[in-house]
Chains A and B, each alone.
Chain A
Amino acid sequence: MSTIGKNKPTRVYRSKKPQEGNILLTSASAVINHAQRSSIMPLTFGLACCAIEMIATAGPRFDLSRFGWEAYRASPRQSDLMIVAGTVTNKMAPVVKKLYDQMAEPKWVLAMGSCATCGGVFQTYSVVPGVANLIPVDVYVPGCPPRPEALIHGIMTLQMKIDQKVNFSASLTTVEPGFRGPTRKEPL
């Protein structure tokens, strides 16, 4: 995955005439996407062991604050990323769905760890085999638990995905629930 950071679709044109001052010309998507990818507020949704590695990622050594993502919010209404860190059981599944429905658009989901991706080691009667059975997932980070570096790789992949989001698309006349907007195949 050596494409991180290379396809950042931002072209900023600066005016050359000194009397026009500091006029920068760029697309609205570039500004909006940059603002969104740099200030995500994750939901505090640590379920099991992966939550401890998520807390360690937010800790002093693997600082999550350098991405601007340190403001964890307990309320789903105030957050835009749900990091599902841990095993989702049958008893917890309706709660996950309810929290996801309460989050406002645009929202993303990162499935952290093997249990959230596919059920992990626990293929039993009470475990949901992957949170993708309940809610749409954007990025999967495998591992048991994934190291903080692996989670940061997942975060940077999500940032790449956000960079490619199209805002103010003219083709959007009706919006279905859960539809986050088309994403470009090539960068701007």
Chain B
Amino acid sequence: MARQEIMTINMGPHHPSTHGVLRLILELDGEVVVNVIPDIGYLHRGVEKLSENRKYLQALPLTDRMDYLGPGSTNLAYILAVEKLLGIDVPPRARYIRTIIAELTRINSHLLGLGSCAGDCGAVSMLLYTLREREGVLDLFEETTGQRMMLSYTRPGGVANDILPGFEERVGAFLDKFPGKIDEYERLLTKNRIWIKRQKGVGVVSREQAIALGLSGPVARGSGVDWDIRRDEPYEAYDEVEFKVPVKTDGDAYSRYLVRIEEMRQSVHIIRQLINKIPDGPYINRAAKYMYPEKERVKDSMEAMIHHFKLVVEGLAPPEGEAYSTIEGPKGEIGFYLVSDGSPHPYRFRIRPPTFVNLQSIMTMAKGNMLADVVAIIGSIDIVLGEIDR
């Protein structure tokens, strides 16, 4: 007489397809997943506690290292929260530059997310193609900010330094070739029978489940939730551009893939609208006295030097209060909740990580799918463990 038992197997934390150190405990009935229990915390670095002992500017590089696939966006979310606490404005040139960097970061993050998802499902050449495109964007980052990945480019009131002359032409050259590459990826994957078999119908989440589970970003838009913070609560220069927000209703991995491809095209469209009309003017708001004065004045004037000294040694101290600001990051809603008690250190530094909340839904998504589909599901949620574990 046959007897059926549930088999419990362990996947990770060291696994080629888990996109980092994620451990999944899978309960299988043969090949079909009955339950999946994620075990996270293998990259918990204590960033929130560490930032409470740092000044506001010293906590900025830590925000890069959380979502390490799209670091420019977490920077922007943090600086927007600090600017809300300080109550200062940002000059228009800086707003445009920050928006362009945020959209380039979105392209970067989607490229690697798609590449690794496809690589896990077997299409390894897709990973190498997207890495090639990423190098183009990383070149642009390196010439502007000095760093390939961990940008730390934004400052309260603007950006750290101005863009180089000719930046617009180089971005334009990149934008001229990039849509052709997205077409190449679509030719490889979108109507590919193998890709459709692996992604269609896999990891389905309905619209009501998506809102109840707190999904955001392309995962929610693939399930029919028409919500994009760039359009609904605009920040930076997003109220001056027009763009479409792709929404699909099937709720499976294939719709999330289509949403990401379309978002990359829309990012190209947004950057094209901005790049030709970057306004002149200052790139940082120095008048508010929260950022350093210009280097030439520091060397000449005594009060500028004292001001610079105090800002470096003591740090900027926002008035008492709290602020919660969110942006539409490449993976969803990135939120920062900062509580200030008047001292130069944040009293409470809370990061609302989109992938932490999105990964919770794997327990709903993976039930009833096969074991090999779990890999496709993780790739389609597009997780990054640095942000989940902080």
Contacts and interface: CB of A to CB of B under 8 A. Distances in A.
Contact between chain A and chain B defined by CB under 8 Å? yes
A124 interface: yes
A51 B69 CA distance: 10
A140 interface: no
B16 A74 contact: yes
Nearest to A99: B14
B194 interface: no
B43 A89 contact: yes
Interface centre among B15, B21, B128, B148 (most CB of A within 10 A): B21
B364 to A, nearest CB: 26
A48 B43 contact: yes
A48 B61 contact: no
B134 A92 contact: no
Interface in B122-150: 128, 131-132, 134-135, 138, 148-150
B44 A89 contact: yes
A61 B61 CA distance: 27
Nearest to A73: B16
A92 B43 contact: yes
A163 interface: no
Nearest to A56: B131
Interface string B8-34: 000001111000110000000000000
B244 interface: no
A137 interface: no
Contacts of B150: 49, 144-145
Contact of A55 (B15, B49, B131, B138): B131
Interface in A90-119: 91-92, 95, 99
Contact of B16 (A44, A56, A125): A44
B46 A122 contact: yes
A18 interface: no
A80 interface: no
Given A59-B132, A145-B150, A91 B14 contact: no
A125 B44 CA distance: 10
Nearest to B119: A55
Contacts of A34: none
Contacts of A56: 131, 134-135, 138
A78 B14 CA distance: 14
B50 A49 contact: no
A126 B45 contact: yes
B149 A52 contact: yes
A92 B150 CA distance: 24
A95 B15 CA distance: 12
Nearest to B54: A121
Contacts of A99: 14
A52 B132 contact: no
Contacts of B49: 124-125
Given A48-B65, A92-B21, A122 B131 contact: no
A147 B128 CA distance: 18
Nearest to A124: B46
Given A47-B21, A59-B128, A145-B149, A95 B42 contact: yes
A59 B116 CA distance: 12
Contact of A60 (B62, B65, B128, B386): B128
Interface string B212-234: 00000000000000000000000
B86 interface: no
B323 to A, nearest CB: 24
B16 A91 contact: no
Given A49-B65, A124-B50, A89 B20 contact: no
Contacts of A48: 20, 43, 65, 68, 385-386
Contacts of B321: none
Nearest to A50: B68
Interface of A: 44-49, 51-53, 55-56, 59-61, 74, 86-87, 89, 91-92, 95, 99, 121-127, 144-145, 147
Enumerate the 7 nearest inter-chain pairs by beta-carbon distance, A residue then B residue, closest first. Answer: A124-B46, A59-B131, A49-B68, A74-B16, A122-B45, A92-B42, A60-B132
Given A46-B20, A52-B112, A89-B44, 16 more contacts: A47-B21, A47-B43, A48-B386, A49-B149, A51-B20, A52-B69, A56-B138, A59-B132, A59-B135, A61-B132, A61-B135, A92-B43, A99-B14, A123-B50, A125-B49, A144-B150
15 contacts: A45-B14, A48-B43, A48-B386, A49-B386, A56-B135, A59-B135, A74-B15, A89-B42, A89-B45, A92-B13, A92-B21, A92-B42, A123-B50, A125-B49, A147-B148
